[in-house]
Structure formats: structure tokens, C-alpha cells
């Protein structure tokens, strides 16, 4: 049986475009004499549809699209993912389903059993879990058709104080070996460690059940979530025999009788390179799918804004990116020249709008109210907010989308200003720690200097008061980021972190800053997710709480 894997980029809710894209791939597969073509999870409606699934009209459009696709499936079978109405009066309204289309109609469907409800996933909010297990027949092959999490039944529960396994059922185990081939349609988001974990899950399943696996993911970004593609074929011995492209659409045709033939096994990219490509795709798809064309950002001469500018130029084109330099009376001369050198290296248009007079006007207006007090955070934040107003004014006037440049280290400890440097339509680095910002800048400069050397080596500073440095109020970033990773990603307790060799006062201070700045992060723009625990959808913490240690 000739099987095609279609790794595509879908838009949530754009049924016309998604349907057109799927049909184009079906027509391509037909010309290649393909027997079966496979698309990813919820491909018809796009993933994740979230509360659109509660709208009757959304489900009706999905159903109409499936029927339209089915009409094109003559002489070929297609597997597509879409929501399906649950006709049982009890339970959730929908199933997350894989539809089998051939001879112009819907021939069969399989529902998802394991519904992830952790981190960014909330599938049990919408879907009823499957309770009926069966394989499907396509030509001479019996196929175990599964949907993403259905192969993750054996994953361990990290940081658990009770359970060791997340699920009690194994969909493949329920089929009692009554199949020849496993097909898994997925929408598996990227994180910096996900590729290795996912590969191991698939390899373990192939070895355990001694069956080959065809895994089909999407290559796309939808708001915060980035999908890396990396669809693959694994033989019954647990060997990857083919892997599709990373962060790109791809199409692969193979014969089910040649599953042991290894082709195009790509070398894994280093983590920093993967991270860069993920951020680039996240930014590019956000603009493309929202219909945005141009971006503006503040250029401070610092490393964060330099990195965002470089990614934006790569994702959107230099003609679509504008930088604004807004020096204050505390800005060093080299910060201005570093920002100008960056703009020149990138080939982007830039403007210099000094904020000294603007800040002075605020100071004069607030003089009577502030009289008798010392210069402090309020005055520092006036500078940040003045810059935020200028950037938003430019955005409004010319229709440019403001890119936020705050990193995860700053967001974690509240080292940012509401309605100032937290402004923006999208946060590019909000899930990237400061230590990784440095690594990304070195990656960008791997062939030639794009980000000025001085920008990378000078001590980080917000430049909101004389001779200010981040290290005045924060631990060094190597220490800070390690503590933050242990607390946020690993969910380690204070004592567990201290036991790993960190000073107890530093750990206490860091945890307090993280806990007390949740209200700021609640008002952040959407953050591109590249870690296992990003701020936003995947980390839900109460704003009003008192839980420190």
C-alpha cells in the first residue's frame, strides 16, 4: 500500500483555506497513484480551536468541510482530523476524531481516547473520551488509528507526590494486537525538549507492540503554540526510517512494504538553532495569519531588542521592520551607537526620538504631588511608559504591530514596567531566559557580526537611573535562570533548590519575586511558547494568593 504523509500548516477556523489545502494534497497524491494519504489532528478546523468548539456554527462548517473533502476521495483514501458530534445524550458534546474518507463518503471514524488536560492542553473541557476500541481495514492492511496522546499512555508523571503514570488505559493495548500498522495523527507542540521525548515515546511503542508507526504532525504556529512538524516513519524494531522537515510543510510518499528502508534521516539541530527557528516561525505565522505586514520595536542598544529585531527581519523582511531609538538623559552614548549599528547591519529603517523633554514634562507636572520624595521607581517607570506611548503612537499611526522585547527572566521576577516595556502585540522572548538570549545572539552572529559585539558583552541595564545595572537588584543571570528553571519548569520547592547548592536567601528572594508578579504577567501580550512551562495558557496561577514557602 502506498501511503502519503501530508505535514501542513493550518489556520484555526479558516475552513475554506484548510479544505482547499487538504484537497490540493489529495489531488497531488492521486497523481502519484497513492492509496492512502494522512493528515494531522483536527486538520479540518485547525489546532487548537479552543472555545470555538462550543459554537454550533463552527461544528457545522467543519462537518460541511469533511463532506466536501470526502467527495474528492475517489480512488484514494484520506484520513483527516476534525471534531465529531457525540450523539449520546450523556457526556461531552464532541469527540476529537479521525475520519476515514473514500469512495466520496465518510467510511469510518475513530475517536481519541486519552484527552490531555495539563499544561497548555484542556481537551476534556470539550471532548468525550473514546470507550470503543477497533482497528480499521484499508485495502489489505488492518490499521490501529490513534490520535496524538493515545500513544502517550506510558509517560511518567513528573514531580508527582502520588501517581507515577498519567493514564489508566492503553489504546494500543486494548486492540489486542489486531492490526498491522499504527497511524498516529497529532498536533504536538514544540518545546526545546519535546522532540527527543516524542521520539522516545514513538520508538517505545513500536518496540513494545512490534508494529510500525506512521506519525503525522503539523508544521505551524497558532498564537502561542508552535508546531515543529518532524512527522516520521518508525519500523517494527523501533528505528526511524524517515523523518519529515522541521518547522516546514512537507510531503512524503512511501510503500508499506518498504518500512525498513531508511531515507533522509536528518541530523538533529543543536538546541539554540531549533529555538531560533521556532521563534522565527512563531513570529512569521502570527503576522501572516493575522494579516499583519509590518512591525515596530524599540531599539535600546541592549541585547533583547537586538535579538528581536534580528528575528523580525528574518521572519518578515527588513523592509517590514522599523526600529525606534528613544534615548533618555541616562542613556549611554554607546547604547545609541550600538542601536544605530544594529539597524545598519540589519538594513532596517530607524528613527531617533529623544524622551528627555517628555520625561521632564511629566516631572514638572508631578512636581507638587511628588515634592519631598526621592527619585525612585515611579520616576524610572515614567521613562519606560514614555517610550511605550511613543511606540504605541507609531503603531497606531502607521498600522505597525509593536513587538514586545522582554525576556522570560525579566517577566518571571517582574523586572519590567506595565504599560511601558510590557507593551506589544506579541512577546517574542517571553519564554526565553536571558542566558538563552545570549546564546541566540551568538548563533545569529555565527557567520558574521549582525548584532554588535558591544551589545553582547556589556553588562545588561535598563538605563533608568545613573550607572544602573541589572546585577544591582538581581542575581547574576546564570544563577537566576537556573533557579527559575527549577522553580517554574521543574516545580521544585525552596528546599529542593537549596539542596542543589543555592544560597537560601537568593532562592527565597527569587521565589518571592516570581510569586508576587503574577499580576504583571497576567497583562502580558501573547508569549511564543518554546519551553515545557511558559507563562500564559500553560501556567495558571491565582493573582490573589499568599503562598510563598
Binning pLDDT at 50, 70 and 90, where does residue 335 land? confident
Q: How many CA atoms lie within 13 A of 290 on its CB side?
A: 18
Residue 264 and residue 291 share a domain: no
Residue 318 and residue 259 share a domain: no
Helix, strand, or coil here: 121?
A: coil
Helix, strand, or coil here: 424?
A: coil
CB of 150 closer than 8 Å to CB of 184: yes
| Residue 535 within a domain | no
Residue 309 and residue 205 share a domain: no
Q: What is the pLDDT of residues 132-160, one digit of tens each?
A: 999 999 999 999 999 999 999 987 666 66
R_g over Cα of the chain = 26
CATH number of the domain within which 409 lies: 3.40.50.620
| Residue 98 within a domain | yes
Q: Is 496 a catalytic residue?
A: no
Domain count, the chain: 2
Q: What is the pLDDT of residues 186-207, one digit of tens each?
A: 999 999 988 899 999 999 999 9
Q: Give the closest residue to 326 by CA, choosing from 341, 338, 318, 336.
A: 336
Q: Which of 2, 41, 380, 434 is catalytic?
A: 41
Residue 182 domain boundaries: 2-268
Residue 201 and residue 145 share a domain: yes
Residue 406 and residue 458 share a domain: yes
Residue 259 and residue 197 share a domain: yes
| Residue 545 within a domain | no
Rounded to an integer, what distance in angstroms lies between the CA atom of residue 289 and that of residue 295?
A: 14
Q: Where are the beta strands (DSSP E) in 370-527?
A: 401-404, 426-427
Residue 294 and residue 264 share a domain: no
Binning pLDDT at 50, 70 and 90, where does residue 168 land? confident
Residues 6+ apart with CB under 8 A from 71: 104
Grid cell 541616562 is found at 330
Rounded to an integer, what distance in angstroms lies between the CA atom of residue 150 and that of residue 116?
A: 9
Q: Which of 128, 148, 280, 520 is catalytic?
A: 148
Q: What is the DSSP string of 488-519?
A: IIS---HHHHHTTT--HHHHHHHHHHHHHTHH
Tell me what the mean pLDDT of segment 350-377 comes to.
94
Residue 184 and residue 119 share a domain: yes
Task: Examine the pLDDT at 212 and tell me if it is beyond 90.
Answer: yes
| Residue 78 within a domain | yes
Rounded to an integer, what distance in angstroms lies between the CA atom of residue 404 and that of residue 412?
A: 15
Tell me what the mean pLDDT of segment 302-315 comes to.
97
Tell me what the mean pLDDT of segment 97-119 comes to.
97
Task: Examine the pLDDT at 162 and tell me if it is beyond 70.
Answer: no
Q: Is 41 a catalytic residue?
A: yes
Percent of the chain, pLDDT > 70? 96
Helix, strand, or coil here: 283?
A: helix
CA dihedral sign, ordered 76, 77, 80, 83:
positive
Q: What is the pLDDT of residues 505-525, one digit of tens each?
A: 999 999 999 999 999 999 999
CATH number of the domain within which 53 lies: 3.60.110.10
DSSP letter assigned to residue 485: I
Of 25-39, 495-509, 533-547, where does mean pLDDT reach its minimum?
Answer: 533-547
The rounded Cα 525 to chain-centroid distance in angstroms is 14
Rounded to an integer, what distance in angstroms lies between the CA atom of residue 465 and that of residue 484?
A: 26
Binning pLDDT at 50, 70 and 90, where does residue 463 land? low
The rounded Cα 516 to chain-centroid distance in angstroms is 25
The rounded Cα 35 to chain-centroid distance in angstroms is 34
State the chain's mean pLDDT as an integer. 94
pLDDT of residue 472: 73
pLDDT of residue 330: 81
| Residue 484 within a domain | no
Q: Which of 2, 84, 112, 434 is catalytic?
A: 112
What grid cell was written down for 48? 487548537
Q: Give the closest residue to 163 by CA, choosing from 153, 150, 178.
A: 153
Residue 117 and residue 244 share a domain: yes
Tell me what the mean pLDDT of segment 290-309 comes to.
97
Rounded to an integer, what distance in angstroms lies between the CA atom of residue 124 and that of residue 470?
A: 43
pLDDT of residue 264: 64
Residue 307 and residue 428 share a domain: yes
Residue 222 and residue 86 share a domain: yes
Q: Is 148 a catalytic residue?
A: yes
| Residue 364 within a domain | yes
Rounded to an integer, what distance in angstroms lies between the CA atom of residue 98 and that of residue 373?
A: 66
| Length of the chain counted residue by residue | 549
| Residue 64 within a domain | yes
Task: Examine the pLDDT at 464 and tell me if it is beyond 80.
Answer: no
Q: What is the pLDDT of residues 382-393, one digit of tens each?
A: 999 999 999 999
Tell me what the mean pLDDT of segment 48-70 comes to.
98
| Residue 494 within a domain | no
Residue 159 and residue 305 share a domain: no
Q: Where are the beta strands (DSSP E) in 267-326?
A: 295-298, 321-325
CB of 151 closer than 8 Å to CB of 112: no
Grid cell 486538520 is found at 43
Amino acid at each position: 500500500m502506498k501511503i502519503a504523509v501530508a505535514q501542513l500548516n493550518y489556520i484555526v477556523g479558516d475552513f475554506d483555506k484548510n479544505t482547499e489545502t487538504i484537497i490540493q494534497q489529495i489531488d497531488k497524491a492521486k497523481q502519484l497513484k497513492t492509496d492512502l494519504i494522512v493528515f494531522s489532528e483536527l486538520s479540518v478546523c485547525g489546532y487548537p480551536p479552543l472555545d470555538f468548539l462550543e459554537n454550533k456554527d463552527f461544528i457545522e462548517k467543519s462537518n460541511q468541510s469533511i463532506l466536501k473533502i470526502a467527495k474528492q476521495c475517489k480512488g484514494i483514501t484520506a484520513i483527516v482530523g476534525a471534531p465529531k458530534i457525540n450523539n449520546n445524550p450523556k457526556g461531552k458534546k464532541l469527540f476529537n476524531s479521525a475520519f476515514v474518507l473514500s469512495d466520496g463518503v465518510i467510511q469510518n471514524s475513530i475517536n481519541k481516547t486519552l484527552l490531555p488536560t495539563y499544561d497548555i492542553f484542556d481537551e476534556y473541557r470539550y471532548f468525550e473520551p473514546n470507550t470503543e476500541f477497533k482497528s480499521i481495514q484499508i485495502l489489505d492492511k488492518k490499521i490501529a488509528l490513534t490520535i496524538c496522546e493515545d500513544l502517550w499512555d506510558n509517560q511518567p508523571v513528573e514531580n508527582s507526590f502520588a501517581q507515577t503514570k498519567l493514564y489508566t488505559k492503553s489504546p494500543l493495548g486494548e486492540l489486542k494486537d489486531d492490526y498491522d500498522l499504527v497511524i498516529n495523527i497529532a498536533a504536538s507542540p514544540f518545546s526545546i525538549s519535546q522532540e527527543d521525548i516524542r521520539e522516545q515515546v514513538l520508538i517505545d511503542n513500536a518496540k513494545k507492540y512490534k508494529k510500525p508507526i506512521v506519525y503525522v504532525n503539523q508544521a505551524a504556529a497558532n498564537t502561542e503554540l508552535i508546531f515543529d512538524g518532524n512527522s516520521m516513519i518508525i519500523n517494527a524494531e523501533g528505528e526511524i526510517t524517515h523523518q519529515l522537515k522541521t518547522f516546514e510543510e512537507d510531503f512524503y510518499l512511501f510503500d508499506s512494504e518498504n518500512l525498513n528502508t531508511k531515507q533522509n534521516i536528518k541530523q538533529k539541530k543543536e538546541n539554540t538553532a531549533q529555538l531560533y527557528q521556532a521563534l522565527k516561525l512563531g513570529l512569521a505565522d502570527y503576522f501572516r495569519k493575522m494579516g499583519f505586514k509590518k512591525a515596530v520595536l524599540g531599539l535600546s542598544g541592549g541585547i533583547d531588542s537586538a535579538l528581536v529585531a534580528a528575528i523580525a527581519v528574518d521572519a518578515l523582511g527588513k523592509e517590514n521592520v522599523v526600529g525606534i531609538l528613544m534615548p533618555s538623559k541616562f542613556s549611554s552614548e554607546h547604547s545609541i551607537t550600538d542601536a544605530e549599528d544594529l539597524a545598519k547591519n540589519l538594513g532596517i529603517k530607524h528613527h531617533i526620538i529623544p524622551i528627555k523633554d517628555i520625561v521632564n514634562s511629566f516631572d514638572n507636572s508631578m512636581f507638587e504631588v511628588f515634592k519631598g520624595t526621592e527619585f525612585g521607581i515611579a520616576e524610572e517607570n515614567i521613562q519606560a511608559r514614555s517610550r511605550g506611548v511613543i511606540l504605541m503612537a507609531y503603531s497606531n499611526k502607521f498600522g505597525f504591530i509593536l513587538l514586545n522585547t522582554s525576556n522570560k527572566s525579566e517577566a518571571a521576577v517582574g523586572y519590567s514596567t506595565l504599560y511601558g516595556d510590557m507593551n506589544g502585540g506579541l512577546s517574542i522572548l517571553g519564554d526565553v531566559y536571558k542566558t538563552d538570549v545570549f546564546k541566540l545572539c551568538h548563533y545569529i552572529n555565527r557567520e558574521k557580526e549582525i548584532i554588535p559585539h558591544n551589545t553582547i558583552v556589556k553588562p545588561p541595564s535598563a538605563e533608568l537611573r545613573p550607572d544602573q545595572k541589572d546585577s544591582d537588584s538581581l542575581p547574576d543571570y546564570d544563577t537566576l535562570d537556573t533557579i527559575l528553571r527549577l522553580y517554574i519548569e521543574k516545580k521544585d520547592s525552596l528546599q529542593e533548590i537549596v539542596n542543589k547548592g543555592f544560597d537560601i536567601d537568593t532562592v527565597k528572594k527569587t521565589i518571592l519575586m516570581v510569586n508576587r508578579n503574577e499580576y504583571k504577567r497576567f497583562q502580558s501580550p501573547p508569549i511564543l511558547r518554546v519551553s515545557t512551562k511558559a507563562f500564559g495558557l500553560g501556567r495558571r496561577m491565582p493573582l490573589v494568593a499568599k503562598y510563598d514557602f
